[in-house]
Structure 1
């Protein structure tokens, strides 16, 4: 009976039919893992997702994901942190785009529109953010930090507006909370309404909130 030589055995495990992992820089691999993990978490829910599920879809070993993120909670936290950064960058870019001579209403509208545009482009991230009841305890403060970040950025924009120079901080902070809450609830509502586009959602929020915010402008004078 013929025997298999060691060289033949090596050939059989390294032949063209054996899948190989493509090497890439760590930062690029982490980004790939986060993108896929975000999708899997959003589709299956945090509790039902396993590290094996994610490793299989990425095409890496499970120990590699543990090496990068420490645990499933750590991976979820990294996904949320990435979404927070992306949303902040999108919002800041929208404000910068309107230019220094834009009116307060134009700045306000640009920020609201940026939020809904981000949601449309990162639907899985938004689903992930909304899964508060099912996520790990470590992730809940991170989810709330996204709201706090957007609120703080909105307040800072209000404070920078000359027309609101004399408005008390407590009012600016209160209106920022109203804006964040309105955007988030409307985004959830329109998730099931294909007939409500980004501009439609932006108009609803601006028309609902701007009247009260604009009423503060005369008092600043």
Structure 2
């Protein structure tokens, strides 16, 4: 008699600490949401891509909205850290223009390295209601960081906060719209995009506020 074949065994899921597993799920979910759109994505899609069960994702994030919110929060944190690191890298003696340029460059560098996160930020019309405030919070975070940088600059001493806030909104809007524009233009690199923003937005700031030359 032929020897019976051994019973098929299911692949064993690799165990990992919860924090590591959450990070893995978020990275995959960000990509799937960006590829398929929020509405068309199912929790099963994400579970299959990660190699875990749907109940595990529900246990960690509660719902698809909760998972999307966690993805956006993760992107917000990563962008803040990238921006802060860029400002620290220029050093305390750098001119305000150099600091400004470093922040703008960090934004475009982040977008290039996290294209799927940027797609999520742009999907405002298709995302869950609880995620919309989180998307806006990314803009508010960057605006607040820009205002704080302006306030700390001696060259801008005495400029009203309202004016600084207005310039910060212009900066964030310009960066975001330019990022959308260059998404289909691979020939426009990070430095090209940075130069466009700095030569237009910073030039306007320096002209309107003569003390902003240092």
Normalising by structure 1, we get a TM-score of 0.91
Matched, 1:194 2:186: yes
**Cα contact 1:167–1:219 (8 A) shared by 2:** no
1:56–1:214 Cα change, 3 Å = same
Q: In 2, distance between residues paired with 1:218 and 1:47?
A: 49
Q: Gaps (5+ residues) in structure 2? A: none
Q: 2:143 aligns with which of 142, 146, 151?
A: 151
Structure 1 residues 215 and 7, CA gap change in structure 2 (3 angstroms): closer
Number of the residue aligned with 1:98? 90
Q: Distance in 2 between matches of 1:142 and 1:154?
A: 19
Distance change in 2, residues 1:2/1:146 (3 Å): same
Partner of 2:127: 135
Note the C-alpha offset of 1:3: 15
CA deviation map 1:49-90 (0-9, x unaligned): 000000001000000000000000000000000000000000
Contact 1:179 1:209 in 2 (8 A): yes
Give the gaps of 5 or more residues in structure 1: 9-17
In the TM superposition, what is the alpha-carbon distance from 1:211 to its structure 2 partner?
1.5
Q: Which residue of 2 aligns with 1:2?
A: 2
Q: Which one has the largest radius of gyration?
A: 1
In structure 2, the CA distance between the partners of 1:7 and 1:57, relative to structure 1 (3 Å rule), is closer
Q: Secondary structure at the match of 2:209?
A: helix
Distance 2:204 2:188 in 1: 24
Decide whether the 8 Å contact of 1:55 with 1:61 is kept in 2. Answer: yes
Distance 2:100 2:131 in 1: 29
- Residues 7/124 of structure 1: CA separation in 2 closer, same or farther (3 Å cut): closer
Query: Relative to structure 1, is the Cα distance of residues 7 and 110 closer, same or farther in structure 2, using a 3 angstrom cutoff?
Result: closer
SS at match of 1:46: coil
Matches of 1:25 and 1:153 in 2, distance apart? 33
Change (3 A) 1:6 1:122: closer
Shift of 1:169: 0.4
User: After alignment, is 36-45 or 205-214 more displaced?
Assistant: 205-214
Distance 1:35 1:28 in 2: 11
Aligned pairs for 1:59-78 within 5 A: 59-78=51-70
Cα deviation digits, residues 8-30 of structure 1 (max 9, x gap): 9xxxxxxxxx2111000000000
Q: Could you tell me which of 169, 179, 200 is aligned with 1:208?
A: 200
CA distance in 2: counterparts of 1:20 and 1:196, whole angstroms? 45
Structure 1 runs of 4+ off > 3 angstroms? Answer: 1-8, 216-221
Partner Cα distance (1:120, 1:216) in 2 = 32
